[in-house]
Structure 1
Amino acid sequence: MTHVTSDLAASDLEAWLDASASHLDTTTDTAASVLPKLADGGLFRLGVPVQWGGNGGHVADAVNAITETSTRSLTAGFVFWGHRTFIEYLLQSPNAALRERLLPDLLAGRRGGATGLSNAMKFLSGIEELSVQSRRSGTALQLDGYLPWVTNLPATGFDVAMAVKGADGAPAFIAALASDDSGLERSPDLDLMAMRGSNTAALKIESVQIGEDRIIHHHAAEWLPKVRPAFLAMQSALSIGLARRALAEATARLRNDRDILSEPVAALTAELSTAETALLEGLGGGRFIEHPASLFRLRIRLAEIAVQAVQFELSASGGRAYLSQPGAGFQRRLREAAFIPVLTPSLIQLKLALRVQELPAAVGATA
């Protein structure tokens, strides 16, 4: 598997992320700059075939870049995840015309790409029903529904993927809607506790009409398991990046009176490295498609590691972490860590999906 590495320091991106992390977390002031900055660093082209405007390599390269970004700003990493995941949907879509039309602006960061498929991933695991419906309207399809939480919806324009219940008993399908579609309404930015610069809002879909040219895939249940590994692996990169930074901060603050933390911090650092390796190796083959439970477990454990790592940073920092100025970075990471367990699919939803998958095997073993 050929990889193309990313280097945030190759441009001013590294310095910009450091300088902007607090603003991206607490305000919307710099939200419009995230996509252009990441695009200028060439990050959206990682893992995209050269013939489609990318730098080649593998989707694992995008995972690594999201990880690096998230060590400095989880808000930027979150936007990166949503945008690059939408790009991945186009790469794995049989709709070549849609891919050719949308990719140039997405790769250049001129337009946002949003993954509205969190509902679909829960639907695939049997957790909830689809929240967008369709019906025939002449030769077109008319869509209605509501998505309560979608990230990377910049005011400059966006495209969003969503799973739609088929009309007249047809299979559920995946469609792409555009910000200028009549009947698609974006709410004001959600009043988030943190990560406010992520252009996160709700979408109301009311009598939006689309044609075949907007269909990413006609059979959601067939296609979603194939894109789920990339979706969850890139999402897991948020946890890896946050954990990596918190553990580095904890290690740097270990002193004689806190040496008792050295062993557990080192052990968690080693576990993080092992889990990250397992994630990238699994992404390189088809194991996560055939055995999604192994991916669910990694996603769950990486989220738990991130939360634990931030607590280690607190313990290593002591009261300093509670002071506004010297503790500002930690306080941001604490808010970021509070988001990781509820990022859809949440840890509770993933554990429920695992229970549903394992139930048939348990029933068979006791029959």
Structure 2
Amino acid sequence: MTTSALRPVTNELEAWLDTHAEAIDTGQELASEILPRLGRAGLFRIGVPTDLGGTGGVIGDAVEAVANVAEHSLAAAFVFWGQRTFIEYLLQSSNETLRARWLDRLLSGELAGATGLSNAMKYLSNIEPLQMKARLLDQAGKHDRWTLDGSLPWITNLRPAAFVAAAAFDHASEDDNAPPSIFAIPHDAPGVTRSEDLDLIALRSSNTAALRVEGVVLDDTFRITADAPAWLARVRPGFLGLQCGMSIGLARRCLAAVSETSAVSRAAVEDEAAQLARELDDLTHRLKEGVRNGTFVSAPAALFDIRIALAAVVEAAVGLEVQVTGGRGYLRGQTGTARRMREAAFVPIVTPSLVQLKNQLALHRKAQAA
């Protein structure tokens, strides 16, 4: 198995994740520790310009960092994805006030950033309508003020101590022909309600909950963009690219587990494992190149294909791990195989799900054929 030379995960963080991976997956006791630990390791600064507090590099470096964390814990990588994706939203926004207000705290891990744009990404692909509404309250003073209403049933990284969530809002007035907007919603704004954590079967320390906004009043300084469709098309490669880092890391760890078994067990599947490793390296390279050079902005179908292919590699890789691990995988505390099976079960359903992407690709190919 070939991995990148870039290894941003520190030995200390690696050891902590390996020690607590099972507890992070199945319980919520350590949920409050994940974000600060990732922040202290400097992971949120990867791919962020140095003049904005980052360590430089490109977003492909951040994808690699997410993959590195996912090799140890997919739940921690899920939190990482949510945080780094929200940071990318601020980097891609023209709203300098938002960056000045929150970027430093997001980079350090003091403040949680929640993407909240799964609904918006599905809206962009004509899968479902927007679930949130914005009504112009007044235009007095320097900034317009808006009243926001709606709910989102599933958002990751809603850290109870302090979070800010991005959400897309359609305009409530039928007379308003302006495109939908995206607002950044702080946890302490009057009218913001976070549910209890969802009762997930895995990834339970990811602070995944529902969010409701009722009569929340925010002005333009909280608006990430006034043209959601155009902006979403531009940030979608980062959203999905960072998400794909989770699959890359999980597949790598499953293949590493195969290589660590006895020679007799390994011999039975080594050709399949080698082929999967080559396919994984190729998909990873294509993903990073496409995100770097911007081709996925105008050709999202190519990105969808990679996301689907990576999910297939994860499924095959964890299947090989189950085969070579045998009965030990059914003994608690003996291996991480059972946990990685639960983690792998999440890969097809994280938004946009494989079913949604496959439907989009079918429509795309039908349109091309026509």
Scaled by the length of structure 1, what TM-score is found?
A: 0.95
CA distance in 1, matches of 2:322, 2:7: 30
CA distance in 1, matches of 2:168, 2:363: 21
The residue number in structure 2 matching 1:340 is 347
Deviations 1:9-41 (A, max 9, x none): 2x5111111111111101111110111100110
Deviations 1:232-254 (A, max 9, x none): 00000000000000011012215
Q: CA deviation at 1:356?
A: 2.3
Q: Equivalent residue of 1:176, what SS?
A: strand
| Larger deviation, residues 154-163 vs 135-144 | 135-144
Q: CA deviation at 1:322?
A: 1.4
Q: CA deviation at 1:6?
A: 4.6
Deviations 1:111-139 (A, max 9, x none): 10000001111000010000111112223
Question: Which residue identity does 1:153 align to in structure 2?
Answer: L
* 2:150 paired residue among 145, 154, 161: 145
Q: CA 1:12 to 1:257, structure 2 compared with 1: closer, same or farther past 3 Å?
A: closer
Written as runs of structure 1 = structure 2, the 5 A alignment for 1:1-367 is: 5-9=6-10, 12-139=12-139, 140-168=145-173, 169=176, 170-256=178-264, 259-327=267-335, 329-363=336-370
CA distance in 1, matches of 2:362, 2:129: 18
More helix by share: 1
Deviations 1:262-303 (A, max 9, x none): 111111111111110111111110211111100000011101
In structure 1, runs of 5+ residues without a counterpart are none
Deviations 1:296-353 (A, max 9, x none): 00011101111211111000111111122213x1111011011110001100011111
Q: CA 1:4 to 1:116, structure 2 compared with 1: closer, same or farther past 3 Å?
A: farther
Count matched residues: 359
RMSD: 1.4
Q: Equivalent residue of 1:142, what SS?
A: strand
| Structure 1 segments (4+ residues) deviating >4 Å | 3-6
Scaled by the length of structure 2, what TM-score is found?
A: 0.94
Q: CA deviation at 1:361?
A: 1.3
Q: CA deviation at 1:359?
A: 2.3
Q: Equivalent residue of 1:234, what SS?
A: helix
Percent identity between the aligned chains?
A: 47
CA distance in 2, matches of 1:108, 1:258: 42
Q: CA 1:105 to 1:257, structure 2 compared with 1: closer, same or farther past 3 Å?
A: closer
Q: CA deviation at 1:258?
A: 5.2
CA distance in 2, matches of 1:59, 1:222: 20
